[in-house]
Structure 1
Amino acid sequence: MTDIIDELHWRGLIALSTDEQALRAALAAGPVTYYCGFDPTAPSLHMGNLVQLLTMRRLQDAGHRPLALVGGATGLIGDPKMTGERTLNAPDIVAGWVERIRRQIEPLLDFSGPNAATMVNNLDWTAGLSAIDFLRDIGKHFRVGRMLSKESVSARLNSEQGISFTEFSYQILQGMDFLELKRRYGCILQTGGSDQWGNLTSGVDLIHRVEQESVHALATPLITKADGTKFGKTEGGTVWLDPEMTSPYAFFQFWLNSDDRDVINYLKVFTFRTADEIGELEKELAERPAARTAQRALARDVTTLVHGAEETERVEAAAQALFGFGTLQDLDARTLGAALAETGAPRVETGDELPTYVELFVQSGLVPSRSAARRALAEGGAYVNNTRLDPGTDPEARPSHDDLLHGRWLVLRRGKRTVGGVELA
């Protein structure tokens, strides 16, 4: 595909556009400077943000110039949520989150070369702006009736919580960002999620009123799951890009566990594999679904993009080792701990003497009772640190402290597929 709009359509990444044919012509004539904004309303970006970052990278790879805006100003307010008023965070907290998010964005865009990305912060042009100047120079161009019609605003107006003037004014600030970036960098395109469409078009309308020029907005669809559950969520909560908030192991497992009905769509959205490569994976999925080749390719690609190739190798090695196909002793403490956390390994308080094997299997949740633990041991189906316990082992025997991995963990397995573990303290 030589046309970036055609590629974005094939990948399912265009939900809305202000004027697609005009945008297609502008991109063909290019290069086009475009931007996407990321508000620091949390310490980390999440999966929805990753859709935007990878869309930005596709446009950059097609020869266009990205501006990554981290909203040091808008992050102090937050765009309106459907569910209620946002908690306003202190300026020093938001400033810290700005730096964390900048570091997450940097590896995903190219900041060198003829179409190098530029990082911008809207606090640079709002911090010194007085309320009077803001109202006179920007606010006068917005019509309240149009602002009230925005979906996020109208939904809140009809709710019990209502909406504060602070959140109501968010779309004005985002519109001002687009105007400022056009003046400073010649930016003529803003991208974002379809749930942000009202805010995206605020900037388009403002520039038309102030500069008498037409610019563009392009929105990606919200990613959904075939089973109806929310994308980017697990039982443990949101899947974050920050490795301290979602471990690389848990991140890898999130993609590896993708439903067969979703995985091809995810490959299009979240990887840079070609149509031919994805077509081969789709064929493999149809012929040998149990092999989960497509899911494994997806997990490897996205984990490598976000956390790097070395981290991906570590988490794959951990997954293999947990099921007896690798050496547990070679795993670093952080990766092993994250892997066991995904199995639900409990923390077991011990004294100088470790629990018996029977107690350990019960406490890990791998068996429902002491009698079931004795039976697993007698049948040769009990493993500790990938070593099978001899069926003749005394059920009341105990592991030694030397058996503890990194002085803390024991990996337990019942049979070939049921893995658990305990953290001993």
Structure 2
Amino acid sequence: MATNFFDDLEGRGLVHSASEGARDHFAAGPVTGYIGFDPTASSLHVGNLLQIMALARLQRAGHRPLALVGGGTGMIGDPSGKTRERQLLTRAQVEENVEGIRGELGRFLDFSGENAAQLVDNHDWLAGLGLIEFLREVGKHFTVNYMLAKESVARRLEQEEGISVTEFGYMLLQAYDFGVLADRYGCTLQMGGSDQWGNITAGMELIRRTRGRSAHGIVQPLITTSSGAKFGKSESGTVWLSPERTSPFRFYQFWLNTDDRDVEHYLKAFTFLPLNEIRQILGEHAANPAARTGQRRLAVEVTQLVHGAEGLERAERATGVLFGSRPAQELGAAELLDVFADVPSTEVVRSRLEGEGLQVVELLAEAGVASSKGEARRLIAGGGIYLNGERLTGHEQRVRMENAIDGEVLLLRKGKKDSYVVRLIR
């Protein structure tokens, strides 16, 4: 049985704080540990990935992971790390989000075998919990002074809006969760981001006071970027784990665009690569930064982890089309529009491509690739115009429906970088 989980986290720079004795706790035998995920959306995002990886690392080290989906606490919202009150979700919204998250967590954890992972929902025990019972079993063990001293609460009190009683009580609900998991599953460890330290230590305190035994907590540093930008955001917004919300291509590009200064940290945090292999990759990267060896390996590893081999292949194929090394016909119309969502586009009536088709110089002028038909002729003569990735060789060519990808899209390119999309409409 492997017991080096804590050492592995520490070696990767992923231990921000840990309870006293946490390291030795793993040497005593298999540990059951949990992390909670509140269902604020129907998909998790890359900001959650570090915690998902922590559960997977725990399982790979021979311990037992519990993934808690907050179907109950999600009705309230965690104030940790937030400067203002969350908007409350309806029960129907929470249930829909819980189901989406369940499916995603199943891609990272093994729910069979000796140390099988287990997925739990705190709605199962919070929904029937009465107020009087809660105040007697939990509330009496915490003073208001104790709760006010927690960073998540103190920060909110500095804001003009303050904190509602609803969110103020979130810490106690999370502490209660830890107690329930300790009783039902023998759970002795809770993990999370560093902003969860106050909530986690509250749970440890509750277990000590009410069960007379110790529990442990480990929190990981919050991921930041060297540029100061918020991690997990791209120009298109939040980077989700769901392929329906963020395509494998855009997910791959997010990691490929990692700043050189962040490559080492991200390889350690978001991959299962051994540290000695990471050092080798970083050595190659340092020798030739322009080759972006570190970013390429990072993008491959994380995309395959989240989207599987098929998703990675789609992302690499789309990237090849984006940079002109693969023909556009390798993608369907929907993928092509996703890849080239940010380039100039124009609409052309489909019937103009039927029969004899449309003169290519006319299409180039209409699409803005050339300022006039004359310029279009000169660009073609110079070998600088491509249709669906293939160089045009004559200005007399005509574009027909058979050239359209899925009968919907044409991709034009001028030179190496300037791409244009033509959408066919009825």
Q: TM-score range by the shorter chain?
A: over 0.9
Shift of the 381–148 alpha-carbon distance from structure 1 to 2, 3 Å rule, reads: same
Aligned runs of 1:117-136 on 2, under 5 Å?
117-136=117-136
**Alpha-carbon separation, structure 1, partners of 2:49 and 2:83:** 23
Aligned runs of 1:46-195 on 2, under 5 Å?
46-80=45-79, 82-195=82-195
Retained in 1: the 8 A contact 2:3–2:26? no
Q: Partner of 1:276 in structure 2?
A: 276
Retained in 1: the 8 A contact 2:327–2:390? no
1:393 aligned onto 2:359: no
1:376 aligned onto 2:376: no
Name the SS of the counterpart of 1:424 in structure 2: strand
Question: What does the per-residue CA deviation read over 1:317-357, in whole Å, with 9 as the maximum and x for residues that have no partner?
Answer: 1211333322332324443332222x435363636336875
Name the SS of the counterpart of 2:261 in structure 1: coil
Retained in 2: the 8 A contact 1:44–1:242? yes
Q: How many residues align?
A: 419
Shift of the 139–291 alpha-carbon distance from structure 1 to 2, 3 Å rule, reads: same
Q: Partner of 2:217 in structure 1?
A: 217
Question: What does the per-residue CA deviation read over 1:137-170, in whole Å, with 9 as the maximum and x for residues that have no partner?
Answer: 1111121111112222222222122211111111
**Alpha-carbon separation, structure 1, partners of 2:136 and 2:373:** 75
Q: Partner of 2:39 in structure 1?
A: 40
Q: Partner of 1:3 in structure 2?
A: 4
**Alpha-carbon separation, structure 2, partners of 1:291 and 1:110:** 36
Name the SS of the counterpart of 1:112 in structure 2: coil
Shift of residue 194, structure 1, vs aligned partner: 0.6
Retained in 1: the 8 A contact 2:317–2:326? yes
Q: Partner of 1:17 in structure 2?
A: 18
**Alpha-carbon separation, structure 1, partners of 2:368 and 2:108:** 40
Letter in structure 2 aligned against 1:146: Y
Aligned runs of 1:234-273 on 2, under 5 Å?
234-273=234-273
% of aligned pairs identical? 52
Question: What does the per-residue CA deviation read over 1:175-204, in whole Å, with 9 as the maximum and x for residues that have no partner?
Answer: 100010001011010000011211111111
Question: What does the per-residue CA deviation read over 1:379-411, in whole Å, with 9 as the maximum and x for residues that have no partner?
Answer: 221111011122x415xx762222111122112
Shift of residue 360, structure 1, vs aligned partner: 5.6
Letter in structure 1 aligned against 2:104: Q
Shift of residue 95, structure 1, vs aligned partner: 0.4
Unaligned 5+ runs, structure 1? none
Retained in 2: the 8 A contact 1:256–1:296? yes
Root-mean-square deviation over aligned CA pairs: 2.3
Unaligned 5+ runs, structure 2? none
**Alpha-carbon separation, structure 2, partners of 1:186 and 1:322:** 51
**Alpha-carbon separation, structure 1, partners of 2:417 and 2:208:** 61
Letter in structure 2 aligned against 1:216: H
Retained in 1: the 8 A contact 2:239–2:251? yes
Letter in structure 2 aligned against 1:320: G
Retained in 1: the 8 A contact 2:150–2:198? yes
Retained in 1: the 8 A contact 2:346–2:421? no
Retained in 2: the 8 A contact 1:314–1:335? no
Shift of residue 220, structure 1, vs aligned partner: 0.5
**Alpha-carbon separation, structure 1, partners of 2:361 and 2:4:** 63
**Alpha-carbon separation, structure 1, partners of 2:111 and 2:404:** 45
**Alpha-carbon separation, structure 2, partners of 1:51 and 1:372:** 52
**Alpha-carbon separation, structure 1, partners of 2:165 and 2:99:** 28
Name the SS of the counterpart of 2:419 in structure 1: strand
Shift of the 379–41 alpha-carbon distance from structure 1 to 2, 3 Å rule, reads: same
Shift of the 367–54 alpha-carbon distance from structure 1 to 2, 3 Å rule, reads: farther
Structure 1 range deviating more: 406-415 or 7-16:
406-415
Shift of the 292–110 alpha-carbon distance from structure 1 to 2, 3 Å rule, reads: same
Retained in 1: the 8 A contact 2:233–2:239? yes
Letter in structure 2 aligned against 1:114: E
Shift of the 351–78 alpha-carbon distance from structure 1 to 2, 3 Å rule, reads: same
**Alpha-carbon separation, structure 2, partners of 1:89 and 1:360:** 49
Letter in structure 1 aligned against 2:146: R
Shift of the 371–66 alpha-carbon distance from structure 1 to 2, 3 Å rule, reads: farther
Letter in structure 2 aligned against 1:186: G
**Alpha-carbon separation, structure 2, partners of 1:182 and 1:369:** 73
**Alpha-carbon separation, structure 2, partners of 1:133 and 1:423:** 62
Shift of the 280–171 alpha-carbon distance from structure 1 to 2, 3 Å rule, reads: same
Shift of the 346–139 alpha-carbon distance from structure 1 to 2, 3 Å rule, reads: farther
Name the SS of the counterpart of 2:92 in structure 1: helix
Shift of the 212–316 alpha-carbon distance from structure 1 to 2, 3 Å rule, reads: same
**Alpha-carbon separation, structure 1, partners of 2:377 and 2:146:** 71
TM-score by length of 1: 0.92
Name the SS of the counterpart of 1:108 in structure 2: coil
Name the SS of the counterpart of 1:262 in structure 2: helix
Shift of the 365–49 alpha-carbon distance from structure 1 to 2, 3 Å rule, reads: farther
Letter in structure 2 aligned against 1:18: S
Structure 1 range deviating more: 319-328 or 166-175:
319-328
Letter in structure 2 aligned against 1:189: L
Structure 1 range deviating more: 63-72 or 256-265:
256-265
